Amino acid sequence: MKVSEIMTTGVKTAKADTPVKEIANTMCFNKISGLPIVDENDKIIGIVSEKDLLTKMFPDMATIAAEGRPDFEAMEKDYADTLQLVASDIMTKVVSTVSPDMPIMKAASMMCVNKIRRIPVAEDDKIVGIISIGDVHKAIFQNSLL
């Protein structure tokens, strides 16, 4: 089975200067956990995941060492500060992609090795779709029932 058979097309994307608040809104209301960031030519330049949003609120190890135990309740309030940023402030800039003709198990392997749950599908560096580890599992499960 190939990636093109299970990928979601019509992928919601954002630009590098898109406010994080808008990205979080898109992710929450569309029940998606990551948004590819593209340039003016739809070339993938990054990705913002829920993990990127939440990780931005955590102090780095130097801060924890200097200040002691983090105040986790206060961190929830820091979410408002994160929403004031733009995509380029928090996006993962090194993005793995797969091609539409790649076998789905190879794509799943890439996601497992890179510890990611979704991966953009690209042709000539331009986004044409996205798949998640859940999409792969669902496809394999359905195929096993035949």
Tens digits of residue pLDDT in 78-105: 677 778 899 999 999 999 999 999 999 9
Neighbouring-strand partners of residue 103: 2
pLDDT of residue 70: 67
- Highest average pLDDT, of 50-54, 55-59, 107-111, comes from 107-111
Domain segments of the chain as ranges: 3-144
Q: pTM for the complete prediction?
A: 0.82
pLDDT of residue 95: 92
Nearest-angstrom CA–CA distance, 45 and 138: 28
CATH T-level topology, domain 3-144: CBS-domain (3.10.580)
Nearest-angstrom CA–CA distance, 45 and 29: 23
The DSSP secondary-structure symbol of 93 reads S
For residue 12, pLDDT beyond 70: yes
